[in-house]
Chains A and B, each alone.
Chain A
Amino acid sequence: MRGLKLPLSQTQRVRLQRAFEKLQSLSAKANSDASLTVADTIPVNYEDAFLKGHGTADLNGELVATVCGVVERVNNLVYVRALRARYKPEVGDVVVGRVVEVAQKRWRLEINFSQDAVLMLSSMNMPDGIQRRRTALDELNMRSIFEENDIVCAEVRNFQHDGSLQLQARSQKYGKLEKGQLLIIDPYLVKKSKQHFHHLEQFGVDLILGRNGYIWIGEHVEARDSMVIDQAKNIEQSTVVEGINQAYTPLEMRQNICRIANAIRVLTSLGFNVDLNLIMETVELSSSLKIDIHDMLGSEFHVLVAEMEAERRSLTTKRKR
C-alpha cells in the first residue's frame, strides 16, 4: 500500500495538494531539518560525550548515518530513526504473526522481521487449560493447536542468542485468530501505546494493532478466563464456544470489519499514523457521509481523509499553543 496511485480530477488534486501543504507546515521544523540520507554527516558536538545508537556509523572519526531517516537525540544517545525500516522488536510488544512451520516443540512464525520468530510449545496454553508438563503426545498434537498459515497473536518474550525472537502466548487474549482480516502495513505507522487490543463495542469487532505492522480485524471473541478451576464448567464453556464458532458470521459484522479495514488502508496509503482515534474518526466520517465501503478506496474519500487529518492536526497544534 505505497503511494497514491489514484486517478484524481483537477479539483481533487488541488485539494489534496493543499491538505499536504498544510500538514507540511504543521510538522515540526526541527524534524524536517533533521532528515538525512545515507552517509550524511550527523551534526554532533564532538566534544560532548555521546553514545552512537542505531543507524549510525563511525567513518574516519566522524559520525555518519547508515539509513535514511530522522536524527533523534535522547540525552546522550544519538541515533537515526529510519522510517521504512524493519520492525524493531522490544520485549513485551504485542505482535501478530503467521505460522510458517511446525517444528520440534515449537512453531515458527513470520512477523515481518529479518528472521522468523519462535513460539515454544511450552509458552502456549494447552486447550484444556491445565498447567502441566508437555508430553510427547502433546508434541504430536501440535497441529491441532496451530497449523501452517494460521494467524496467531503473541507477545515478545525475549531475544534468542542468534537474534531472532521468542514469543509467548500464555494469556487468554493471545492465541489463534479466526474470523477476520489481516492487514499488513509498514511497522513505523503503528506507534507504541498502552493498549493494543481494542474491542469496538458498537461494531462488535476486535482490533489488534500488532507492533510489527500486522493488523487484525475480526469478530469479537470473548476472552476466556484461564484460571477457572472447575473443569466441568470449562468443558461446557468450550463446547458452547465451539458451537458459536461454527455459526455463520452475520453480514453486518462482515461489513463492519471491511469498513474498518478500508479505513486503515486509506490511512496507510496517505502515510498517516494508524492509531485507534484516527481509525474511528475515519470510519465515522465514512458512515456519516454514507459512503459505500468500496468507495472508501476511491479518490474522493482519500482527499476527504487528508483534509480531515489536516484539520485535526491544526487543531491539536493550536491547542498545544
Chain B
Amino acid sequence: MDARLANTWRLTLNEKNFIKTALLSETRIDGRKPFEFRNISINFGREDGSAELQLGQTRVMGIVTAKFVQPYRDRPNEGTLAIYPEFSPMADPSFEAGRSGESAVELGRIIDRGLRESRAVDTESLCIVAGKLVWAIRIDILILDNGGNLVDAANIAALAALMTFRRPECSLGGEDGQEVIIHPPEMRDPLPLIVHHLPIAITFGFFIDENVVVIDPIHNEEAVMAGRMIATVNANGDICAIQKAGEGLSQRVIMQCLQLAITKAADITKQIKAAVEAYNSERALQKIKRETTCVGNNVKGDQNQTLDNRGISELVGKYMERLKLISVESYASQNINAEETKSLRRGTDSNCIKFNSTPLSWDPYSNGIDLEFLKASVASQGLSTASEEKEASGKEKGSEAESAGPYENVNSKWSAVDASTTEMHVIGPKTLKDAVKPKNKRKKKASSMI
C-alpha cells in the first residue's frame, strides 16, 4: 500500500475525471485558484518548542526537544539536527501503524534537507565541548490529519516549533573548567536556537497536461496528479532543496514554478514570524507574572532537566548532582539548616518532603513515598514550619498561595506523578493558619492520609 499515495484507492473514476476536467478550466474542487494556498493557522503548546499547524484540513504537530550527545567524528564542533516523522494511522486509513512507509521516509528526508543542509539552524552554536558534548536537536513530526500536502504543513510546523524552542543555557565551569553546568531557566533565560533563515516547502502538483499546475494540492488532487515537485525556498530568493520525480516537465515550467514559490514563501514567512512574535510576547507577559514565584519555575526547569538527562551518560548525572547543590545554595538563605542540606544530599525521599524549600530535587518519576514516611514527615514538618517560612527569603507571604497555583498547573501536565506526591503538594505549601493551629492540621492530615 505504501507504494501508492495515501488516498488513491478511495477515489472513484467519476471523481477523478471531474477533478481533471475542472482543472483544465482553472477551477479547483474546493474553489481555490490554482496558485492559492489554504489558510494557515499556527497554535503553540504549553511547552517551548511545540507547535500545531492547521492547513485547511491537514493537521500536523511539530515538537522540538534537545539532549546531550557525542558529536559525529567528522563534525566535532557542530550539534546535530534530526527529523523523525510519524504517520499516525489516525490521519489516514492507509497509513500503517508502526512501520513508516515510503512517503514518511520521503517527507523526513525532504524536511531534513531543507533545514539541515541549507544551514537554516546554526549548528555550531550548539557545541558545548568540542569533540565531546553537543546538543542534539530532535524534531518529532506527528501527522494528525491527512488533508493533502503533508510536506508543506510538516515543514511549517517544524519551523514554528524550532523558532519557539528554548534550550537551557549551559556554561563551562567547575574546578577544572571542564564540567558543564546547566543553568535552570529561572537563573538564566533559556536560549532560543539561532535560525538564519526560514526554508519554506511549497508543493506543486502537475496533471496530465503539463500546463496545469496547482499549488498546495488537497488529498483528492493528490490522488489524481501525475507528478509533483516540492521546492524548499526562503524569502531571500535562495533555493534550499528541490524534490521532483515522475512526470516530465520542461525547464521553463520549472523555473516559473520556482519564481512562484519564492513569492509564496515570502507570504508564509511573514505569517510564521507574526505567529511566533505573538507567542513570544505572550510568553514574556506570563513570565513577568511568574517572576515573583520563582519556585514554580524551578519545578518546571527541574523537570526539563531530569527528563532531558534521562538515559544519558553518568557524566551528565554527576553534573546534575552538582546542580542540585548549587541551586540549594543559591535559594536557601544564609542560615540554611545543616540538617536540610544533609537531608538533601542523602537522597530523594527526604527531598520530596522538603518540597517548599528544595523544589529542584523533586523527581516526578520517583517510586513514590511511603505512607508511614509521610506521616513521620508531616509530624516533623509541623515543627519546622516556622523555620521554613523564615527561610523563604525575599518572598512575600502572599506569594506562597500563588505558588500553589503553578504547582497545580505543573501537576496536571505530568500525569505520571503518583497520587501520593500530588497530595503532598497540596499539603506542602503552608499558610499562616498552619502555623497557628499545628495540632489540628496534623490530625486532619493524618486522617486524610489514611
Please say whether the chains A and B touch (CB closer than 8 A): no
